[in-house]
A and B are shown apart, each in its own frame.
Chain A
Amino acid sequence: MNGHFPWLTTLAALPFVGGLCVAAVPAGKRRLAKNVALLFSLLTLAVAVVVATKFDNDGGRFQITESYSWISSFGVRWSLGVDGIGLVLILLTAVLMPLLILASWHDADEAPVGADGSAGAGRPAPRGTHAFFALMLLVEAMVVVSFAATDVFMFYVFFEAMLIPMYFLIGGFGGAQRSYAAVKFLLYNLLGGLVMLAAVVGLYVATANQGIGVDGHGTFDFVKISQAVATGQLDIDPTAEKALFLGFMFAFAIKAPLWPFHTWLPDTMTEATPGVAVLVTAMVDKVGTFAMLRFCLEIFPDASKYFAPVVITLAVIGIIYGALLAVGQTDIKRLIAYTSISHFGFIILGIFVMTSQGQSGATLYMVNHGFSTAALLLIAGFLISRRGSKTIADFGGVQKVAPVLAGTFLVAGLATLSMPGLAPFVSEFLVLVGAFTKYKVAAIFATTGIVLAALYVLVLYQRTMTGPVRPGNEKLRDLVPRELAVVVPLIAFLLVLGVYPKPVLDAVNPAVDHTLSRVEQKDPAPTKPIEQAAGTEAHTTGGSK
């Protein structure tokens, strides 16, 4: 396993080192700090692409693995490795980061607004810009480790540690209520994480008592645990297994966020700068859904099956609730936050219906949601920064003064409502098909989310972009080249993945099949052949033991 070049450690270390370099740039040289940050995010992207080329879709479960001794007293190793799901999410992270840095180019330059809403109270901190970009890169490093960790403890450490730089990003930069939002974010997630810590300890004790680890210590090796669970070597008492599952799931449900654990998200996304808001929804939250798929399902298969109806119900409620609240919002960023809650409902629904289409769709949805939300939020952010207001009523007729901005916003909005031809359609369709084969009622209710999505996106577009030019909107500038450089790649990804999602699905499917085989789920036999979704093969392999 060892002896090869440690690609994944390098991939995680690059943004970390980059963050340190940015922080070390002298205080006066903001531009240099930004350039260093951009450079390191691009380097990370390059390494991520190299890792992707080394990944073989038909190879083993975890590839590009490495493992070093870390804290042997706790049975913890520094173990990294990716399966298809981890890989595509790492790629998503690596692709988004340079775009986020570009989009946030000027966000940290001025002093943040005071708590009373007064603009630029006090002087800007001399190293505020440096801190902002250093923290962004730090979060990227931790997200990458979380996606690549094959050791449960190691995953937990970075899953939790990530909160601290996020907390400073939210609380240090952004709107008037940012301090409140940051504390809410941290306390919610910390509570989830601490409850999970009890479950992590419980898992450790279970492995130690049943002799899975070495020398009487327990183990956190995910591969070992998941195999021991599959072979029955690790046989946790059903009640304990349910408790442990709930401990893990609680943390992930807060992070993801699943209704009713979602209330931190709207505040965070409204108050944070657009770049940080994307960081939260597109990357950090994905760690939650990713972890449900990997850890909850594989380590606690029986409990997952037991609780699946509950989770599915909550997910469907989240889909409809998020969409309904989005319709009623008057604040652009808050609206987008509620659409995200709705979309996370779809992702969690896809994971817990435990069919191959559902889970492939959910994974693809994580990627697509990353791109579509990033596009929508960042363009909205550009718009908001021009007008100095995030209230929908302040806008109107923008498409006459800034046609490119309005046009790209429309594309991003159509992606959010899952317009066929754009990426989210494929994933949403797969999730619904996967849900329909097993949970018809849930699928039917979830479909209403699509209808509501059309409502909230089109109404938003109509109010802000069409109609007569509202006072205060006459002078809005169209997108500048830097902003175009952010938006164009995002739109391109939405289009390409909309018509040709095969590369992602090919990478994801083996991992999904493996997960399903571990929870001993087979796709129900189709009563009639399933129509093929755009560009995908309906695959029914795997699943059987």
Chain B
Amino acid sequence: MSTAATATLAVTKVDAPTIEYGKLSPILIVAGVAVVGVLIEAFLPRPARYRAQLTVALVGMIAAFGAIVWLARDLPDDHRGSITAMGAIAVDGPSLFLQGTLLLIGIASVLLIGERRLEPAGGDAFAPQAAAAPGSQQEKDAAAAGWTQTEVYPLAMFSLVGMLLFPAANDLLMMFVALEILSLPLYLLCGLARRNRLLSQEAALKYFLLGAFSSAFFLFGVAMLYGYSGSVSLDKIGVASAGAMDNDALLLIGLAMVAVGLLFKVGAVPFHSWTPDVYQGAPTPITGFMAAATKVAAFGAMMRFFYVALPGMRWDWRPVMIGVAIATMVAGAVIAITQTDVKRLLAYSSIAHAGFILTGMIAMNDAGVSSTMFYLVAYGFVTLGAFAVVTLVRDARGEATHLSHWAGLGRRSPLVAGVFALFLLAFAGIPLTSGFAGKFAVFQAAARGGAGSLVVVGVLCSAIAAFFYVRVIVLMFFSEPKADGPTVVVPSVMTTAAIALGVAVTVVLGILPQPVLDLADKAALFVH
């Protein structure tokens, strides 16, 4: 590895940083798409924007996915990647695997964001004019004029750029920049819901305030770690911390603070309190995007941070993380039982799942990395599919997210209810769904990594979680439909495609997970 050489080179010749553009092409393509999206907003007439934005975003993401496949084929035989951009970005197995996952989730999310058949009055899930105060005349005028905002596409793309960078960032500053790039557009997107705008704006504000807090923690931790090791590069921190014999306060504080920032993003207990409110308030396509993609990106970054920068400190951070994982699983599963809103229910379920994913991450072995990545793929598509189904069940006030409205849905729309039941069963980890394969993968990794207690807690929490998933199925299939119950709107081909993708991944990874497991196994090595 020529890291050291390029680093010294950089010190002497500041004016000529070497950037391997080819290796960064997936990120650059998506960034380019986002910029083009902004230009479209500026220069195209309003009616033409929707189609242009959608096309550019989808084509760009597909191209970026192609670039990832191309880079993955170029990885050397030992599957070690390389470090580019002056040591700031790692192009290795985990980066590429997670970036590929993110792009696929991104494609499905954009399909959901672009859905325009569901609102009876036309338009999409987003406010016609975000700047208009909720309930004002201005808002009514905008709605009456049939305005739609297409800024959501470049915003989503910018967020995706941050997500693609986050798991690949090889120094803490780049990681922080990625964190902010992914977060800021998301804060905004959360506040753009067409219906229940106050709730949506509250969600955005809450997310922003708490997110800003956690970013501050993260940055503070970075400063501490820099103070300890004299570098923000994960490798150098890894080298410095490997020899840490005494309890070095700077190192421990820095570690804890960075971990707080990362755990906030994945929604782990005790940094989870934003999750239900934000998931409930955000426009549902954004909730799906956020729930699936943010988790993938944040867990990727977390794994790189712990596996590359702090493997020598594992005896210090592992017990704490085991505690966090247990608390996350228990709190998520138990609190979910009392929920009466589908989106809040899915939010608490996502907290519980963050605990299961942490179980795999804590294993600290290759199986831990590959099983965590497999779980993220399985979980991401199930989540996206579940939120996509939520967008379809509507009454006069928009999405009917209160659980009581879902009673008897299975009688009225067996197909939609059946698909949702499949996703719930996958969340519950029933065999022959992707959720089971993922759960088994992380549990066996944890057990082999010596965290047997986590496995026991994990299965017990799965049993608790099964209770509320089953409750929804009971409600859908075995309850009498209400007379004024919601209707299931027939969506356009885009939402249908996103749901179909979710179903396909859930079933295929449940029955034949081996190809993806192989891929994750091969991609499990972090470059140092």
**Beta-carbon contact of B470 and A201 below 8 Å:** no
Proximity string of chain B (392-435) to chain A, C-beta cutoff 8 Å, 1 when within and 0 when not: 00000000000000000001001000000000010011111000
Residues of the B chain whose Cβ atoms lie less than 8 Å from the Cβ of A194? 429, 459-460, 462-463, 466
A172 CA to B408 CA in the complex, in Å? 12
In the complex, chain A residues 38-79 whose Cβ is within 8 Å of any chain B Cβ:
69-74
In the complex, chain A residues 238-266 whose Cβ is within 8 Å of any chain B Cβ:
none
Residues of the A chain whose Cβ atoms lie less than 8 Å from the Cβ of B480? 114-115, 121-122
**Given known contacts A161-B431, A187-B470, A190-B466, is B452 in contact with A71 (CB within 8 Å)?**
no
Indicate whether B171 reaches chain A with its CB closer than 8 angstroms: no
Residues of the B chain whose Cβ atoms lie less than 8 Å from the Cβ of A114? 480
A218 CA to B447 CA in the complex, in Å? 12
**Beta-carbon contact of A201 and B443 below 8 Å:** yes
Indicate whether B467 reaches chain A with its CB closer than 8 angstroms: yes
Most interface-central of B428, B444, B513 (chain A CB within 10 A): B444
A205 CA to B452 CA in the complex, in Å? 10
Indicate whether A156 reaches chain B with its CB closer than 8 angstroms: yes
Residues of the A chain whose Cβ atoms lie less than 8 Å from the Cβ of B441? 73-74
> What is the CB-to-nearest-CB distance from A168 to chain B, in angstroms, rounded to a whole number?
7
Residues of the A chain whose Cβ atoms lie less than 8 Å from the Cβ of B517? 71, 73-74
**Given known contacts A70-B514, A197-B440, is B447 in contact with A202 (CB within 8 Å)?**
yes
Indicate whether B46 reaches chain A with its CB closer than 8 angstroms: no
> What is the CB-to-nearest-CB distance from B477 to chain A, in angstroms, rounded to a whole number?
7
> What is the CB-to-nearest-CB distance from A90 to chain B, in angstroms, rounded to a whole number?
20
Residues of the A chain whose Cβ atoms lie less than 8 Å from the Cβ of B514? 69-73
Measured CB to CB, the nearest residue on chain B to A69 is B514
Residues of the A chain whose Cβ atoms lie less than 8 Å from the Cβ of B447? 201-202, 204-205
Residues of the B chain whose Cβ atoms lie less than 8 Å from the Cβ of A464? none
Proximity string of chain A (178-222) to chain B, C-beta cutoff 8 Å, 1 when within and 0 when not: 110011001100110011011001101100110000000010000
Measured CB to CB, the nearest residue on chain B to A192 is B463
**Beta-carbon contact of A157 and B436 below 8 Å:** yes
**Beta-carbon contact of B444 and A183 below 8 Å:** no
Indicate whether B478 reaches chain A with its CB closer than 8 angstroms: yes
Indicate whether A160 reaches chain B with its CB closer than 8 angstroms: yes
**Beta-carbon contact of B432 and A161 below 8 Å:** yes
Residues of the A chain whose Cβ atoms lie less than 8 Å from the Cβ of B513? 71, 73
Most interface-central of A127, A187, A209 (chain B CB within 10 A): A187
In the complex, chain B residues 495-528 whose Cβ is within 8 Å of any chain A Cβ:
512-514, 517-518, 521
A191 CA to B137 CA in the complex, in Å? 55
Residues of the B chain whose Cβ atoms lie less than 8 Å from the Cβ of A171? 474, 477-478
**Beta-carbon contact of B478 and A198 below 8 Å:** no
Indicate whether A164 reaches chain B with its CB closer than 8 angstroms: yes
A69 CA to B518 CA in the complex, in Å? 13
In the complex, chain B residues 440-470 whose Cβ is within 8 Å of any chain A Cβ:
440-441, 443-444, 447-448, 452, 455-456, 458-460, 462-463, 466-467, 470
Indicate whether A436 reaches chain B with its CB closer than 8 angstroms: no
Proximity string of chain A (150-161) to chain B, C-beta cutoff 8 Å, 1 when within and 0 when not: 000000111011
Residues of the B chain whose Cβ atoms lie less than 8 Å from the Cβ of A164? 425, 430
**Beta-carbon contact of A158 and B474 below 8 Å:** no
Residues of the A chain whose Cβ atoms lie less than 8 Å from the Cβ of B481? 122
Residues of the A chain whose Cβ atoms lie less than 8 Å from the Cβ of B437? 71
Residues of the B chain whose Cβ atoms lie less than 8 Å from the Cβ of A157? 431-432, 436
In the complex, chain B residues 168-222 whose Cβ is within 8 Å of any chain A Cβ:
none
**Beta-carbon contact of A179 and B474 below 8 Å:** yes
Residues of the A chain whose Cβ atoms lie less than 8 Å from the Cβ of B512? 70
**Beta-carbon contact of A73 and B518 below 8 Å:** yes
A195 CA to B457 CA in the complex, in Å? 10
**Beta-carbon contact of B463 and A168 below 8 Å:** no
Measured CB to CB, the nearest residue on chain B to A163 is B430
Indicate whether A125 reaches chain B with its CB closer than 8 angstroms: yes
**Beta-carbon contact of B414 and A168 below 8 Å:** no
A125 CA to B513 CA in the complex, in Å? 35
A209 CA to B448 CA in the complex, in Å? 8
A191 CA to B448 CA in the complex, in Å? 23
> What is the CB-to-nearest-CB distance from B447 to chain A, in angstroms, rounded to a whole number?
5
**Beta-carbon contact of A179 and B478 below 8 Å:** yes
Proximity string of chain A (107-146) to chain B, C-beta cutoff 8 Å, 1 when within and 0 when not: 0000000110000011001010000000000000000000
> What is the CB-to-nearest-CB distance from A194 to chain B, in angstroms, rounded to a whole number?
4
**Beta-carbon contact of A187 and B467 below 8 Å:** yes
> What is the CB-to-nearest-CB distance from B432 to chain A, in angstroms, rounded to a whole number?
5
Residues of the B chain whose Cβ atoms lie less than 8 Å from the Cβ of A191? 463
Residues of the A chain whose Cβ atoms lie less than 8 Å from the Cβ of B459? 194-195, 197-198
> What is the CB-to-nearest-CB distance from B485 to chain A, in angstroms, rounded to a whole number?
13
**Beta-carbon contact of B430 and A161 below 8 Å:** yes
> What is the CB-to-nearest-CB distance from A315 to chain B, in angstroms, rounded to a whole number?
25
Measured CB to CB, the nearest residue on chain B to A111 is B411
A125 CA to B452 CA in the complex, in Å? 46
> What is the CB-to-nearest-CB distance from B303 to chain A, in angstroms, rounded to a whole number?
18
Q: Contact residues of A with B, CB < 8 Å?
A: 69-74, 114-115, 121-122, 125, 127, 156-158, 160-161, 163-164, 167-168, 171-172, 178-179, 182-183, 186-187, 190-191, 194-195, 197-198, 201-202, 204-205, 208-209, 218
Instruction: Give me 16 A-to-B residue pairs in the complex whose CB atoms sit less than 8 angstroms apart, sorted by A's number.
Output: A70-B514, A73-B513, A127-B414, A157-B436, A158-B431, A160-B436, A168-B477, A183-B470, A186-B466, A186-B470, A187-B463, A190-B470, A194-B466, A195-B463, A198-B455, A201-B444
Q: With A198-B456, A204-B447 given, can you name 15 additional A-B contacts, CB distance below 8 Å? A: A70-B512, A71-B437, A71-B514, A73-B513, A74-B517, A125-B411, A164-B425, A186-B470, A190-B463, A197-B462, A198-B458, A198-B459, A201-B443, A205-B447, A205-B448
| 9 closest Cβ pairs, A-B complex | A179-B478, A157-B431, A73-B517, A194-B459, A161-B431, A205-B447, A198-B459, A160-B431, A191-B463
